[in-house]
Chain A
Amino acid sequence: MSAASKLGTEPSRLTRFLILSIIGLLFAVPMIALVIFTFKAGLSGGQTLDHWTGLFAPDAARTYRTLFTGIGNSLLLAVVTIGIVLVLLMPTMVLVHLQFPKLKRVLEFICIIPITVPAIVLVVGLAPVYSIVVKVLGGSIWTLAFAYGITVLPYAYRAIQSSLDAVDLTTLSEAARSLGANWLTVLWTVLLPNVRRGILAASFISVAVVLGEFTIASLLNRVNLQTALLQVYQSDPYVAAIFTLLALAFVFLLLLLIGWLGRSRRDRTTS
């Protein structure tokens, strides 16, 4: 028994094991049910691999066209959204951090607004905005990324800010400036490498949020992964279930990678 556990501040190993396994089990059961569901042979019962192998059938591309369109659209949206985060948000954050420290609170406030103004509210006002966007830029799917850039703001902001706070950017950039580097050189060769992990984490969390987004796409009548899943679910729930599992696993690995990146950073700074 550790000292902390003797003092009563930490649970004993048994308590920890019991709490985590009971709640873990409660969370695992529905997910396992979904896994088993993908092997179910219709309502008659029995197991089959058909739903999984069906994905590789020659005509799969045609049968699941909506789904593949949705996946393609969501991946494109994820890329454009990362672009927005990197081109619009990140340089602004660095600039505010270095030159306008007074605006820091304002920027933070702006970036967490999307938590208070949820997607279901925002979409009411986005509808008229997008009727203009479509006129100016056309109705291509990528334009939806402008809205997604807003929904990922709180997450991307937090990820980038924590890496900005971890290094002394002011000293670094003043050193570079006094050695004659211009602003862009400073940003590109001195600042970026130092906030790389924050940028990576912001990008991954943006991918996760964009791949999971349903509200805005659905109510603006766009096809993305989630709206396609719901549509396919009506006709072939097994395939929708399979892609749900794949998507969850993919995003889990992505977030595990963020955690791992954060971990190796802490290891490095403490060593």
Chain B
Amino acid sequence: MLNPDPDLTPGVVLEPWLGGQVRCYPDRVRTIVEALDRAVRQFPDTVALETPEGDVTYAEMADLVEGAAERLTEEGLAPGDRVAVCLRNGLDIVVAIWAAARAGLVFVGLSTRLAPTQWAYMLSHSGASLALGGAEFIDGLRAAGAEAGLPADRVREVGDHLTGRRRPWKGDAVAFPDEDRTYGVIYTSGTTGRPKASQVVHRGTMHSATAYVRTLALTPGDRTAIVFPLYYVTGHVAQVTPMMLVGGTSVTVAEVVPREFVRLIGERRITYLMVVPSIWPLLLRDPAFRWPDLAHVEIGAFGGSPVPISTVAALRGRMPQLRLYDAYGLTETHSPATILLDSEFRRKPGSVGRPLPCAETRVVDDDGHDVPVGQPGELWLRGPMVTSGYYGDPAATAAAITDGWLHTGDYARVDDEGYVFILDRKKDMITRGGHKIYSVELEYLLVSHPDIAEAAVFGVADRLAFESVAAYVVPAAGRRVDNTDVQAWVAGRMADYAVPRHVRVVEAIPRNRTGKIDKRALRETMELELNSARTRR
């Protein structure tokens, strides 16, 4: 269903993007560089970042960014070049993102959870000419660099590369980048066995950040704790940049240890929490996570997977002052496309809300035709938040985006009031915690094992993490393989959260009458078996 006529949506104007006309906020700040410049002028002495490495004001952050941009340029990097970073949340990675944008470079976010061979693919695919890693990742990053053919001296421990030099912020004396420029690439799991590099564009980030400021009603006094890894979109699009727009403060958290995190929320007077749904039950386990001790926490946002109604009820009971928001979006939409507001949870349970003012939705059938209102189909999204494409992969871009519409791969229905309900994932994606795992990518890896002939990977329900990874595998003729072999094969090659928890070695994978693997049936069978075992326990 197309949204109402754009003229009926206040505060947006139509602008060209991806070959079509999309709804844009005319009064937006155009780039993340301009957002920093504006913050330097409006709130120079406000603390921008509280990190393990120390606190910095917006004026200090800008000077660090200017210094880092200068140093990256001295490394021989020219506009458009890629610089890869493998860093935990902290000062370095924030400076890296903004310095890359300031120098016209492209930051390549490497997940710290991945295996070196996965980093190697990303270094090679992106053509990164410099890679910087934290001390704890540098050995693996060097191995990845060698595998990718990157000269050894172009893989560095981050040290003081990004924060060792300060230069006075030059403001607009250095030309700001065009808002349609790509300043980052973030790898998402791919349906073809290889991750795809979604391009991060100023236009997308700034529309999403603006949407967060307005929807969540963020104010200058707000303070947010960033637990989302900053090498993904959410941390810098939903938190650092909105805080920059309002003059708030971002507190970086390198790792979530529930009790320590609750203590940090209190000590740092956090007002805005943005977490994956699996974090809430952990916080609720701590008796200290309660009103009035944490009365300053006013905003509780989440996304990535549904939150059980029981968790929402528990939050309402323990933290009645919280305004809850459920955001739906993808890496390819620079975070949110729809948001369910606090007042809508009771009326529209299970919905991910309505499209943001700058977003449009369609629900289509397999031929790309709109289905009647309320009927299920694939959700398509259009707006300035949609990525300009996948880096170095025009075929994947053409398949995913047509006439400005992003094919999300998610099955959904939209009711007659415009509320979106996600029903299933067409792309066969598994969500574990906040992490996405494409079953096809894992299946490719499994069948690359010399003793495995066939594999089917799917998600099964998990009470905390939303889903666990499950796999059926068929041994190659005359070969043997067991659960331990399967897990060990994946463990060294993909992130730990992608290792199948539930493995079944079978002679043949069950198929439906048309010969296709019916993963829904596999999932139901596995869940029945697991529930039966747990009941016996």
A binds B: no
